[in-house]
Amino acid sequence: MSDENHTRASAGHFLVGRSIYLRSPSIERDVVGGRWHEWFNDQINTKYISHGVFPVTMEMQAEYVRAAMSNASTLLLAIVDIQSDEHIGVISLKNIDLISRAAEIGIVMAPGRAAGKTGAIEAMAVLMKHAFSRLNLDMLYAGQHEGLWKWVNTLSLIGFRIDGIRQHAGRRDGISYSVFLTSVLASEFRRLEQQRGGDILSPSPLELLRGRPRENPMDLVGRALQGANEQWICDISKK
């Protein structure tokens, strides 16, 4: 990142990317002043996440943030646009297991704000590097609603792979949906980082995004799993 952006992000920053930086959340600034809780009341923004069922109040959001920040197995960070200093998202590591050296990674962006087109993938790459280099984790995992298949394709650019599919994971609008189960290994992240000259987002996040897969992987993975299960059941029946 440029010296100008680094200076702009230096006040209170924890981890710094090109167009975003990550810092500890502030109840006063982000919840009371920023209306953070309203992100989870927005019916469009919550279309593919578990929120949007019951209303979230400012007090509830403040309580959640306090609890997360006091939980030793959670790292919760605000995503901030370097240029505007606007709080545009939240990213976290949950269920941090220092014995198994694994954690669940998750991200939610504010409605209509994403630091251009690259804020989300930058935030993921920055926190992943921290998880692998400072927390010494070996694996990060996540789950994505099938409607977020383009995001799953984006995550493949920084090392995520599809481990499987959880069918009938939930219902929205009277329709059952499936969830992608994804993960990334520290070794794969480092391999890509080394391959790209030490920067996993090289040559630039926007240039990297242009090379992401364009097809929905749900049908492909679903057919592969169905074939594997049919073969597995067939083999069992022969014994």
Residue (of 118, 72, 115) closest to 97 by Cα position: 72
How far is Cα of residue 100 from the mean position of the Cα atoms in its chain?
20
Q: What's the number of CA atoms in the CB half-sphere (13 Å) around residue 156?
A: 19
pLDDT for position 238 = 72
Provide the 3-class DSSP secondary structure of residue 2: coil
Q: Which range is least confidently modeled, 12-16, 109-113, 125-129? A: 109-113
Is the distance from CB of 92 to CB of 52 less than 8 angstroms?
no
* Per-residue pLDDT tens digits for 69-102: 999 999 999 999 999 999 999 999 999 999 999 9
What pLDDT score does 239 carry?
65
Q: pLDDT digit string (tens) for 95-126? A: 999 999 999 999 999 987 655 689 999 999 99
How many whole angstroms separate alpha carbon 10 and alpha carbon 91? 19
| Residue 73 or residue 220, greater confidence | 73
3-state secondary structure (DSSP) of residue 106? strand
Report the distance separating Cα 40 and Cα 51, nearest Å: 6
The domains of the chain, with CATH numbers, are: 3-237 (3.40.630.30)
Q: What is the pLDDT of residue 177?
A: 94
CA separation for the pair 29, 131 (Å, rounded): 26
**In which band, very low, low, confident or very high, does the pLDDT at 35 lie, cut at 50, 70 and 90?**
confident
Q: What are the strands, taking DSSP E only, across 65-224? A: 75-81, 87-97, 102-109, 139-145, 161-172, 175-185
Residue 75's alpha-carbon distances to 51, 131, 190, in angstroms, are 20, 10, 22
